[in-house]
């Protein structure tokens, strides 16, 4: 009986993973569909860059909600989805960067260097993306074992830096209406504040 229950649970969980995986691909499918319908507007490169950038930041923030949800409500299921969602953040980040590199700059390395130096939002966006690389590369169970839990956790704290960099990048590139970057900034501050609170509470418990 216990075996059957375990198998039903596993099957249910596989379904959840497949559904979340498909949902996470929807923004890309929507973009692809719009491209096929000639629906990307007057500046398709800008549309693709903006869209993939938006989803990079969204997936980063969704990934960062897993631990607060566990702390606040004891939910464990978001933790089990965290790795996949984090990899989707990296996936959309890579599409975002590739759009800039290939379609916008067409591998003009000098132009890219000039952008990194002269345009502050690129200066901050570049490291924010690069920081996601080691996180994606060390996301496997084998890498967690190889690095050891403590070192792996320390490395993966870079995700906070990347998310903060992403929000500043968004803030700096917007010219008029700041409401979207402000929403991301408020949500990220809330998520980081919850973590900080639990870290501080744990620290106090240890020292008193
Ligand atoms: C090498 C790294 C990056 C480059 C070169 C880059 C470049 C760009 C460019 C050119 C735009 C469009 C600007 C405009 O149309 O005026 C943009 C928008 C955006 N990027 Fe990036 N970006 C990078 C990394 C990132 C990262 C790591 C994130 C998120 C964590 C991010 C999030 C965004 C967002 C949210 C937008 C605006 C989306 C919107 O308008 O709705 N970018 N980026």
pLDDT tens, position by position, 130-172: 999 999 999 999 999 999 999 999 999 999 999 999 999 999 9
Q: Which atom of ligand 1 is nearest to the CA of 46?
A: 15
pLDDT exceeds cutoff 80 at 2? no
Residue 40 sits at φ, ψ, to 5 deg, of -95, 5
Query: Is residue 53 within 6 Å of ligand 1 at its C-beta?
Result: yes
Q: What is the DSSP string of 134-161?
A: HHHHT-SHHHHHHH-HHHHHHHHTHHHH
- Separation of alpha carbons 108 and 45, rounded Å: 16
Q: Where are the domains of the chain?
A: 43-207
Specify the residue with its C-alpha closest to ligand 1, atom 39. 50
What digits encode the pLDDT tens for the residues 32-82?
999 999 999 999 999 999 999 999 999 999 999 999 999 999 999 999 999
Asked if 64 contacts 188 with a C-beta cutoff of 8 angstroms, the reply is yes
Q: What is the CA radius of gyration of the chain?
A: 19
Q: Which atom of ligand 1 is nearest to the CA of 128?
A: 27
Computed over every residue of the chain, the mean pLDDT equals 95
Asked if 21 contacts 15 with a C-beta cutoff of 8 angstroms, the reply is no
From 52, 96, 158, 166, the mutation candidate for ligand 1 (largest count of ligand atoms within 8 A of CB) is: 96
Cα distances (angstroms) measured from residue 35 to each of 27, 38, 44, 47, 195? 12, 5, 8, 10, 40
Kindly state the DSSP code that residue 42 receives in the 8-state scheme.
Answer: S
Q: Which atom of ligand 1 is nearest to the CA of 54?
A: 35
């Amino acid at each position: 009986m216990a075996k059957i229950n375990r198998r039903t649970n596993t099957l249910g969980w596989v379904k959840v993973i497949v559904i979340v995986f498909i949902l996470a691909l929807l923004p890309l499918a929507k973009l692809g569909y719009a491209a096929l319908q000639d629906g990307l507007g007057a500046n398709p490169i800008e549309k693709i860059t903006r869209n993939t950038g938006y989803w990079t930041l969204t997936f980063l923030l969704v990934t960062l909600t897993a631990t607060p949800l566990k702390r606040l409500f004891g939910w464990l299921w978001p933790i089990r989805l965290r790795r996949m969602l984090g990899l989707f953040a990296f996936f959309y980040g890579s599409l975002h960067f590739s759009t800039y590199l290939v379609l916008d700059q067409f591998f003009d390395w000098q132009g890219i260097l000039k952008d990194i130096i002269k345009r502050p939002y690129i200066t901050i966006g570049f490291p924010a993306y690069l920081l996601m690389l080691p996180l994606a590369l060390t996301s496997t169970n084998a890498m967690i074992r190889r690095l050891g839990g403590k070192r792996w956790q320390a490395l993966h704290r870079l995700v906070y830096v990347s998310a903060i960099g992403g929000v500043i990048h968004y803030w700096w590139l917007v010219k008029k209406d700041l409401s979207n970057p402000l929403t991301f900034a408020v949500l990220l501050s809330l998520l980081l504040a919850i973590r900080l609170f639990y870290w501080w509470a744990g620290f106090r418990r240890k020292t008193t």
